[in-house]
Amino acid sequence: MRKKLLISNMLFALILLSFTAAFAGPPVGITGPELQKMMKDGKPIKIVDVREPELFSRGHIPGAINIPYDDAFKSMFRQLSPEERIVFVCHGGPMGNELGTILLQKGYKEVYNVKGGMRGWDGPLTSK
């Protein structure tokens, strides 16, 4: 039963991604150095790391929160406000791009994705 629910949730997510991608552009792609500048500009920012908790705990961008990609469809709308400046980071970029597109479709205003994901980040790291 649990596997059927997981499979149906994943199919729903794929359908939703396909549908929303047709109506919303992708989030703005930024580089690691651009994110570092944003972190210092004084405006509030929420950095969302969508990697698995194990990888997040080994090292992540300071101040980032962890909303794993597999859980994002269930929880990101409760944890993220449409008024926030949101930056996604993942392994290499595509997962943050997909989630950012969904947020933009839902009316979120300022959504970014780190190009190259954590591979594109050359700034400081912190760990749990």
Fold of 2-120: Oxidized Rhodanese; domain 1 (3.40.250)
3-state secondary structure the chain: CHHHHHHHHHHHHHHHHHHHHCCCCCCEEECHHHHHHHHHCCCCCEEEECCCHHHHHHCECCCCEECCHHHHHHHHHHHCCCCCEEEEECCCCHHHHHHHHHHHHCCCCEEEEECCHHHHCCCCCECC
pLDDT tens digit string along 53-91?
A: 999 999 999 999 999 998 888 888 889 999 999 999 999
Q: Is the pLDDT at 10 greater than 70, yes or no?
A: no
Q: Is the pLDDT at 94 greater than 60, yes or no?
A: yes
The answer for residues whose C-beta is within 8 angstroms of residue 18's C-beta and 6 or more apart is none
Q: What is the pLDDT of residue 55?
A: 95
pTM over 0.75: yes
The rounded mean pLDDT for the chain is 87
